[in-house]
Structure 1
Amino acid sequence: MCLSQAGLKAFLLVLNVLFFLCGGIVMGIGIWAVADKIYISDVIGSSLFKSAAILMVICGVFLVLLSFLGCAGALAQKKIIVIVYVISLAIVFIVLMSAAIVAAVFQDDIESGMKEKMRRGIREQYGYNTAYVDENRDLTESWDLVQTRLTCCAVDDQGWGLYQQSRWFQQQFNEYDRKFVPPSCCIYEGRLDQYVNLFTCQAFAGGPPRFGGGGFNNALHYQGCYTAARDFISKQADIILGIGFSFCVFLIAGIVVGIMFIRKLSDEGSADFR
């Protein structure tokens, strides 16, 4: 059944209220990912997650702005405004689909070269010359955030020995007071606002990390960051994919209703083309 102009107008207004809400959600998730989770990209050596998050922020802003444009076009019944609105929705649709595709590609290719990039970052850049090399300083801060927040150490499970191959370890000249892992590899008790046992974690003589065996070190993270980061990124990619494809359905609905509204305005001659 063909909808009347009033029905299409009401439908378009409802859709734009949904666009406003959806745009705010997309923008909020994107900002959260950029502001709080972007350190993951530095550690894994890929900017795809960062790119997808930035695209989500852009799409969210556009959806919020377009919701006002759509409401204005529907209320004023100005065909030129609705045309601009439909074209803009199509552009957002393309960009949002691109973000979803980027997330899908990243999810499929998540393990490709990821381990070696992470190992190379620890060996060559972590904690080395951070006062003069910005890239090394940023990578070090990112690794510390990953190890602290994801409660992991180095790359592989029980792989803390990687730090002994690093420039960070080699630049410790006092061999009697060497730290075998950084503090971020150590278990932190948030309720007490302190490490469980920083000395035991970094220099436990009876077991890891010094010998890679022996007694259990209850102050050290045994999980490797490769597994933790892979699981984290997979979950984030699923969120981006779900949001991207779900909102694309709403965008298609908005484009279709917008085109129908334009045709109805033309047929009934109720608006000027200007």
Structure 2
Amino acid sequence: MQSPCRTEVMANKEKETCGTICLKYLLFTFNFLFWLAGGAVMAVGIWTLVEKSDYISLLSSKIYAVSAYILIVAGGIVMVTGVLGCCATFKEQRRLLRVYFVLLLCVFLLEILAGVLAYIYYQQLNKELKQNLKETMVQKYRQPEQDHVTKAVDKLQQEFKCCGSNSSSDWAESVWIRSENSQMRDSVPDSCCKSPSELCGHRNHPSNIYKVEGGCITKLENFILNHLQIIGAVGVGIACVQIVGMFFTCCLYRSLKAEPY
């Protein structure tokens, strides 16, 4: 016949075991979702750099690109961390759980950093574009070793159906338009035309050339602001989710620590 003390100890042991099992499955589910989230974070960063990399060359600040790179690095670490978390959870090794917690904390800080950088750049973007976009377009378009800028400007004007930084008249100050290389002294680049064709920029008329109020600055600003909102939301959102993961990890670590070897 078992003593009351022994019965109580066994009951407490059973409760601890059940609690540990519940924590293990909660943490496993979190890690699986976290691994998927890491892939999503990395995809957002890669998409920003690959699909929209042309526009980065028109920006004087590197914060926009840095934010995207941080997301890529953080996304990669998240995916590795998710796998490590699953191993640490089912092997019930406290050392692995400590490593897992540290990685979660590092990713958390990276995600917060990406979100903060996106917010800071969000505040200064308008000022930067007003100060630098016009100068970049008129000074570097069709100039030697500036093919990336030329490609970005042509893509910007065609994709957003705009012409010039503030208006099509900005091109009157262009180094290229004033140079001997300008074909028949074009008024604007051919990418300003509603139906682009060779030398179409020679006829500077509203029926032929995009005349958009605010020029390309407004279009590019709205485009980048939307992407910064995505980068910031993804970074801060995943960081908040990680707090839950760190909480589960601490609970499981304490549960395992209380158990005998």
Output the TM-score relative to the length of structure 1: 0.83
**Where do residues 89-238 of structure 1 align in structure 2 (5 Å cutoff)?**
89-129=104-144, 133=145, 136-156=146-166, 159-172=167-180, 177-188=184-195, 195=196, 199=199, 201-204=200-203, 209=204, 217-223=206-212, 224-238=215-229
Q: In the alignment, is the contact (CA less than 8 A) between 2:129 and 2:221 conserved in 1?
A: no
The ranges of structure 1 where at least 4 consecutive aligned residues each deviate by more than 3 angstroms after the TM superposition are none
**Distance in 1 separating the partners of 2:121 and 2:36:** 27
Give CA-to-partner distance per residue, 1:180-202, whole Å, 9 cap, x none: 211221224xxxxxx3x655x41
Q: Which amino acid aligns with 2:121?
A: F
Q: CA RMSD in A?
A: 2.0
Distance in 2 separating the partners of 1:150 and 1:50: 21
- Using the alignment, how far apart are the partners of 2:121 and 2:230 within structure 1? 13
Q: Which has the higher helix share?
A: 2
Aligned to 1:71: 86
Letter of the 1:218 counterpart: S
Pair 1:54 & 2:69 matched: yes
Letter in 2 for 1:203: H
Residue 111 of structure 1 aligns to a residue in which SS? Answer: helix
CA distance in 2 between counterparts of 1:74 and 1:244 reads 25
Whole-angstrom CA distance in 1 between matches of 2:114 and 2:62:
13
Mapped to 2, the partners of 1:174 and 1:98 lie a distance apart of 45
Aligned-pair CA distance for 1:173: 5.7
**1:127-161 CA distance string (max 9 Å, x none):** 122xxx3xx222222212222222221111xx112
Identity, in percent, stands at 23
Residue 227 of structure 1: how far off its partner (Å): 0.3
1:192-248 residue CA offsets vs partner (Å, 9 max, x unmatched): xxx3x655x4122xxxx3xxxxxx522322221100011001111111121111111
Secondary structure, counterpart of 2:162 in structure 1: coil
Structure 1 residues 174, 27: CA separation in 2 closer, same or farther (over 3 Å shift)?
closer
| 1:147 and 1:184 in contact (8 A); partners too | yes
| 1:174 Cα offset (Å) | 7.2
Q: Which stretch shows the higher mean deviation, 28-37 or 114-123?
A: 114-123
Q: Does the CA contact (< 8 Å) of 2:28 and 2:89 recur in 1?
A: yes
Contact 1:186–1:198 (Cα < 8 Å) also in 2? no
* Equivalent residue, structure 1, for 2:259: 268
| Gaps in structure 2 of 5+ consecutive residues | 1-14
CA distance in 1, matches of 2:87, 2:206: 64
How many corresponding residue pairs? 244
- Going from structure 1 to structure 2, the CA distance change for 1:79 and 1:121 (only over 3 Å counts) comes to same
Pair 145,174 (structure 1): closer, same or farther in 2 beyond 3 Å? closer
CA contact (8 A) 1:198 1:219 kept: no
1:34 equivalent in structure 2: 49
Match of 1:46, SS?
coil
Q: Which has the larger radius of gyration?
A: 2
